[in-house]
């Protein structure tokens, strides 16, 4: 079965730097890959979605890439701020008729001022 | 819309008791998901509904867990009898349906079984 893995449990970076998070999948290429942010004590909040035929998606200081050859998605936070400190989760759906949304374990980002 | 509403926010119960968690999805959303989150296992999908019909309950850990969606605006997740290992945060999420749509999560219910 499909496994989705986020390699780093935690990432500590200096304010102003770029944070790069990794999401790998093991088998088939998911048709859609999503990224969420979760703050302590709250539910995940959707950030970005990227389709398998898209190489890159941007939203303000966020950028997501999708490399089907490497079976990997990268999530970048540019010009990071302490307010970006949170846990970031990737999630996938296998296909256009698949409602099941499965999540990776998440990477906790801490941005130091 | 107030978003996905879950109740209660916190629940402490004794082992063996029945626990019922409640969820009101966003109006107009066709899909509803129940997740469980723990430090050890992360965010696990328990069950999801589409148009009030359970589509996949393969994530439900045991027969002690059951979920219902009697109408488009209400769902319950029941644990009977509860055990200490059921302690976790349970999230309900809803979506418009379709693979290219996002899920909107509630605030979660923190369940502690002692």
Residues of chain A with a CB closer than 8 angstroms to some CB in chain B = 31-32, 34, 41-46, 49, 51, 89, 91, 93, 95-106
Beta strand segments in B25-86, E? 31-38, 42-50, 53-56, 65-71, 74-79
Q: In this predicted structure, what is the pLDDT of residue B7?
A: 97
CB A94 within 8 A of CB B45: no
Q: Which residue of A has its CA nearest to B30?
A: A99
A60: left (phi over 0), alpha (psi -120 to 50) or beta: left
DSSP A1: -
pLDDT by 10s per residue, chain A, length 113: 667 888 777 999 999 999 999 999 877 667 788 999 999 999 999 999 998 888 899 999 999 998 888 888 999 999 999 999 999 999 987 666 667 788 999 999 999 99
pLDDT of A6: 87
Cβ-Cβ contacts under 8 Å, A44 against chain B: 43, 91, 103, 105
The minimal CB distance from A106 to the residues B33, B42, B98 is found for B42
Contact B105/A45, CB-based, under 8 Å? yes
Regions of chain B with pLDDT less than 50:
none
Q: What is the per-residue pLDDT for A92?
A: 86
CB-CB contact of A74 with A20 (8 Å): yes
Report the pLDDT value the prediction gives residue A4, as an integer from 0 to 100.
84
H helices of chain B, where? none
Q: How far apart are CA B49 and CA B30, in angstroms?
A: 8
From the number of C-beta atoms within 10 Å of its C-beta (0-12, 13-18, 19+), residue B62 rates as exposed
Contact B50 A99 (CB under 8 A): yes
Q: Specify the pLDDT at position A101.
A: 84
The pLDDT value recorded for residue B98 is 73
Eight-state DSSP code of residue B106 = -
Helices (H), A30-89: none
């Amino acid at each position: 079965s499909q496994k989705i893995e986020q390699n780093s449990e935690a990432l500590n970076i200096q304010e102003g730097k770029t944070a790069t998070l990794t999401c790998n999948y093991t088998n088939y290429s998911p048709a859609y890959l999503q990224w969420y942010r979760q703050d302590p004590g709250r539910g995940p909040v959707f950030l970005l979605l990227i389709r398998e035929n898209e190489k890159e998606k941007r939203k303000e200081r966020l950028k997501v890439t999708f490399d089907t050859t490497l079976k990997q998605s990268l999530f970048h936070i540019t010009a990071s701020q302490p307010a970006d400190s949170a846990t970031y989760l990737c999630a996938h759906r296998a296909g256009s008729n698949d409602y099941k949304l499965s999540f990776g374990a998440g990477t906790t980002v801490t941005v130091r001022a | 819309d107030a978003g996905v509403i879950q109740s209660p926010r916190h629940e402490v119960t004794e082992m063996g008791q029945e626990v019922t968690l409640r969820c009101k999805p966003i109006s107009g959303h066709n899909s509803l998901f129940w997740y469980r989150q723990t430090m050890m296992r992360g965010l696990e999908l328990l069950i999801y509904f589409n148009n009030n019909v359970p589509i996949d309950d393969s994530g439900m850990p045991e027969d002690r867990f059951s979920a219902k969606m009697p109408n488009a605006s209400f769902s319950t997740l029941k644990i009977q009898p509860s055990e200490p290992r059921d302690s976790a945060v349970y999230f309900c999420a809803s979506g418009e349906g379709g693979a290219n749509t996002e899920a909107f999560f509630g605030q979660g219910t923190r369940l502690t079984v002692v």
